[in-house]
Copies of this chain bind each other. A is one copy, B any other.
């Protein structure tokens, strides 16, 4: 039995689909059923379910997007930092293996050598970066908190996308945003992500931090062109002149565009298809809302 927290969210539903596809039984209590800010409540739930492992897919990424986190900072801190902190304490004490959905958004750009950031590199878009967002800081602090649990596998997700039209889906955002910012990123197919994450606990591979993106890197312009090529839209995409131009709008926070290396999880024996292959398959299977 698996205990899935945050199962009704965008990322949590991908985990639920993955568990269903595997025929793995799971329970996904709601916030009302288990107060994840309370160690006592979490302990009680864990002891009742006696799960093989726990998945924490709780997170707050803002409404309608990351800009919204700056307007709901307390909620963002509670969901993104306090909840994993509570889970780390309880699950370590109870001896239960678990995984936590982190984010690649604690990095910006590439390493100095032009390569993607590995799990050994310290986050550069969390504390030291003057423009780092509240969101990035909450996610980076969570990684510090959960590092106290030797039973925790940290999965870094980066810009989720798949074939299901949804406001959180990168493809949907590209289709709907009036203007785009052309940046280079590692991105994560949500189904591939959930599959790799669950697999990492089922085998299991050693706990620790794993970047879970589709191998490779891709630019916004490449994605936009592929979206047109597959006939999802015939609109001519417009791009911001520069990041400064993009950030000029009020209430907008700097995005952490970054390239991550996902060699570590692959070396651990969990395959993930390349980013261009994943994108092509996604667009070919596109299901409008």
Q: Which residues of A contact B (CB under 8 A)?
A: 37, 73-74, 77-78, 81-82, 85-86, 88-89, 126-130, 132, 134, 137, 141, 144-145, 148
What's the least CB distance linking A150 to chain B, in Å? Answer: 15
Out of B73, B78, B132, B145, which one reaches A74, CB within 8 Å? B145
Out of B85, B128, B132, which one reaches A130, CB within 8 Å? B128
What's the least CB distance linking A66 to chain B, in Å? Answer: 16
In the complex, which residues of chain B have a beta carbon less than 8 angstroms from the beta carbon of A127? 126-130, 132, 137
Whole-angstrom CA separation of A37 from B39 in the bound complex? 12
Whole-angstrom CA separation of A85 from B37 in the bound complex? 14
Whole-angstrom CA separation of A92 from B144 in the bound complex? 31
Out of B37, B129, B144, which one reaches A73, CB within 8 Å? B144
In the complex, which residues of chain B have a beta carbon less than 8 angstroms from the beta carbon of A129? 127-128
Whole-angstrom CA separation of A78 from B141 in the bound complex? 13
B82 contacts A77, CB within 8 Å? yes
In the complex, which residues of chain B have a beta carbon less than 8 angstroms from the beta carbon of A132? 127
In the complex, which residues of chain B have a beta carbon less than 8 angstroms from the beta carbon of A126? 127
The 4 closest A-B pairs by CB, nearest first: A74-B85, A127-B127, A128-B128, A73-B145
